[in-house]
């Protein structure tokens, strides 16, 4: 059961390679979409193995350039199939897209901003950097990639931000030292992060250890960046007397929906928490890939965001009836 979606058709006007594995897509919507703010995303309906699925992609622009919607998609050969479906699209193809929505809003009252991107997590931060630069806000930008050739938008950001832009090549320089990065941020300064889950966990731990208020750390992550490779598993639902086989390329949420079992959902990328289900038992480690549950809740293993998280194989018994408070 999906909330808040207004769909319209959009034509793929152009694609362009940004790196060997990241491609820019420019869509022309059939009707002009409403204004959007930095950090916004759209949902795109893609067909994966004959099934219609929904994927979320951050908008690269801040909405001021023209009527086109630009997103960038990293090809994940071992992912759930959404990026492969996107990369198979050709100019002139028509897809369904949603209105822009924003779960990663840029506040404008902070004395300074630190933006940190890991890999393709650069996408929502491009529009934020542009907005902050235009507004003359103090800004430092750190962008970690494995190799220079993976650094989409690096030249653009360098031209906007000059010495405030720091490209970090992990193959040459090792991992970013988050403690050093956080230390000079002033007391009310905000940090915006987008990147893989493991990097997000490191940033969150560093921020917490430095005694910084969590309200000043804003983040988003990839639904696909788990600790384990995707494995098929069995989902057992005692409430319905059902047992579902969830394929490696499928999410638990899509398997439940295909089986006709209603689960609330919205963001479908582990942010809103609407799709949270109770775990009754599980015989394999659970790969929590959301940014909604707290570290303590993930360690307890009593809840799971069905849109992104999954057991690493085996058998999981769940109850879809749980509806906890947003702060749970």
Nearer CB in complex with ligand FES: 121/273: 273
Q: Which residues contact 113 (CB under 8 A, 6 or more apart)?
A: 128, 132, 137, 138, 139, 140, 189, 190, 191, 192
Q: How far is the CB of 130 from ligand FES (least distance, A)?
A: 27
263 to 282, contacts with ligand FES by CB under 6 A? 265-268, 270-275
Q: Interacting stretch for ligand FES, rule CB under 6 A, among 88-96, 121-129, 201-209, 261-269?
A: 261-269
Q: Which is nearer to ligand FES, 110 or 235 (CB)?
A: 235
Distance in Å, CB of 104 to ligand FES, minimum: 13
Question: With CB under 6 A, what is the number of residues at the site for ligand FES?
Answer: 14
Q: CB of 85: closest distance to ligand FES in angstroms?
A: 19
Tell me which stretch binds ligand FES (CB under 6 A): 13-21, 77-85, 260-268, 313-321. Answer: 260-268
Q: Do the bridges between strand 139-145 and strand 165-169 make them parallel or antiparallel, or are there none, so unpaired? A: parallel
CB nearer to ligand FES: pick between 206 and 265: 265
Nearer to ligand FES, 26 or 266 (CB): 266
CA distance 103 to 116: 17
Q: Dmax of the chain from CA atoms? A: 60
Residue 221: Cβ-neighbour burial (10 angstroms; 0-12, 13-18, 19+): buried
Told to check if 292 binds ligand FES by CB under 6 A, we report yes
Q: In 3D, which of 108, 74, 101, 116 has the Cα closest to residue 219?
A: 116
Q: Residues 253, 306: contact at Cβ < 8 Å?
A: yes
Q: How near is the Cβ of 2 to ligand FES at its closest, in Å?
A: 9
**Secondary structure, 3-state, 125-174:** HHHHHHHHHHCCCCEEEEEEECCHHHCCCHHHHHHHHHHHEEEEEHHHHC
Residue from 244, 290, 304, 320 in contact with ligand FES (CB under 6 A): 290
Q: Which of residues 106-165 bind ligand FES (CB under 6 A)?
A: none
Q: Is 286 in the site for ligand FES (CB under 6 A)?
A: no
DSSP-based three-state secondary structure for 215: helix
Q: How far is the CB of 276 from ligand FES (least distance, A)?
A: 7
Q: Counting Cβ atoms within 10 Å, is residue 39 exposed (0-12), middle (13-18) or buried (19+)?
A: buried
Smallest separation, CB 183 to ligand FES (Å): 32
Nearest residue to 194 via CA among 109, 74, 275: 74
Q: Which part of the chain contacts ligand FES (CB under 6 A), choosing from 93-101, 159-167, 211-219, 259-267? A: 259-267
If one asks whether residue 287 binds ligand FES (CB under 6 A), the answer comes out as no
Q: How far is the CB of 269 from ligand FES (least distance, A)?
A: 7
DSSP state letter for 284: S
Residues at the site binding ligand FES, with contacts judged by CB under 6 A: 265-268, 270-275, 290, 292, 305, 307
């Amino acid at each position: 059961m999906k909330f808040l979606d207004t769909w319209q058709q959009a034509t793929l006007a152009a694609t362009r390679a940004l790196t060997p594995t990241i491609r820019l897509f420019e869509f022309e919507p059939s009707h002009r979409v409403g204004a959007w703010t930095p950090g916004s995303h759209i949902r795109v309906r893609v067909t994966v193995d004959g099934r219609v699925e929904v994927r979320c992609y951050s908008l690269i622009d801040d909405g001021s350039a023209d009527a086109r919607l630009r997103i960038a998609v990293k090809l994940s050969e071992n992912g759930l199939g959404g990026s492969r479906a996107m990369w198979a699209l050709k100019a002139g193809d028509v897809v369904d897209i949603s209105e822009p929505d924003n779960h990663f809003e840029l506040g404008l009252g902070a004395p300074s901003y630190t933006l940190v991107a890991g890999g393709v997590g650069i996408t929502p931060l491009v529009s934020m950097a542009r907005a902050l630069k235009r507004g003359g806000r103090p800004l430092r930008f750190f962008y970690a990639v494995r190799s220079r050739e993976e650094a989409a938008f690096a030249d653009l950001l360098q031209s906007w931000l000059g010495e405030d832009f720091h490209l970090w090549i992990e193959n040459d320089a090792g991992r970013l030292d988050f403690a050093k990065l956080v230390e000079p941020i002033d007391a009310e300064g905000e940090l915006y992060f987008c990147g893989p889950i493991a990097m997000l966990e490191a940033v969150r731990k560093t921020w917490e250890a430095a005694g910084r208020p969590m309200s000043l750390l804003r983040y988003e992550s990839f639904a696909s960046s788990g600790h384990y490779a995707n494995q098929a598993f069995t989902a057992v639902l005692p409430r319905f007397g059902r047992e579902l086989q969830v394929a490696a390329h499928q999410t638990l949420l899509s398997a439940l929906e295909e089986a006709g079992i209603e689960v609330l959902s919205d963001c479908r990328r582990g942010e809103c928490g609407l799709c949270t289900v109770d775990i009754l038992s599980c015989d394999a480690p659970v790969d929590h890939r959301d940014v909604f549950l707290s570290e303590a809740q993930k360690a307890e293993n009593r809840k799971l965001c069905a849109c992104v998280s999954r057991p690493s194989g085996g058998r999981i018994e769940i109850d879809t009836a749980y509806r906890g408070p947003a702060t749970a």
